């Protein structure tokens, strides 16, 4: 995903569609991953990094199956538009709850599963958004503008 403009309007639109912001996980959240009695919905999604930086915005929505979430992660891009409009890059992921070694609960991304992208696209229907393909022919890219220059 690529976003041009402030994240506030995007966040508000997605929250109105059932997505919710997860604040950055802290050390207490990490310890709670060991709590086997804690419901899956209350287990945090650990941060992901891009060039050593955690995402600026993490939005979650329950998936269609138990133990499944859709996640949208956004990071600042290393550039801005000519008029100073900020750019953001991100990813939409299907996350499933796993318990490696029967220990901590961890939300793991499912590679190649497009359902989170499709849910995001539907949530942004009617917004200034265009779906395209990456130049290398790979995964689809959703380009969104949240502010008019």
pLDDT digits (tens, 9 = 90+) for 87-112: 999 999 999 999 888 888 999 999 88
Least confident of 14-18, 42-46, 97-101, 135-139: 135-139
SS3 for 37? coil
Q: How far apart are CA 73 and CA 7, in angstroms?
A: 12
H or E element at residue 132:
strand 129-133
């Amino acid at each position: 995903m690529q976003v041009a403009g402030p994240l506030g309007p995007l966040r508000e639109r997605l929250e109105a569609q059932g997505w919710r912001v997860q604040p950055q996980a802290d050390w207490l959240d990490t310890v709670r991953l060991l709590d086997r009695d804690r419901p899956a919905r209350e287990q945090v999604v650990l941060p992901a990094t891009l060039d050593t930086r955690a995402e600026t915005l993490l939005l979650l929505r329950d998936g269609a199956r138990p133990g499944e979430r859709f996640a949208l992660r956004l990071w600042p891009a290393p550039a801005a538009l000519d008029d100073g409009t900020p750019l953001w890059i991100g990813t939409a992921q299907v996350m499933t709850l796993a318990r490696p070694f029967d220990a901590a609960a961890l939300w793991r991304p499912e590679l190649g599963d497009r359902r989170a992208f499709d849910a995001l696209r539907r949530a942004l229907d009617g917004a200034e958004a265009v779906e395209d393909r990456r130049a290398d022919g790979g995964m689809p890219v959703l380009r969104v503008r949240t502010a008019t220059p």
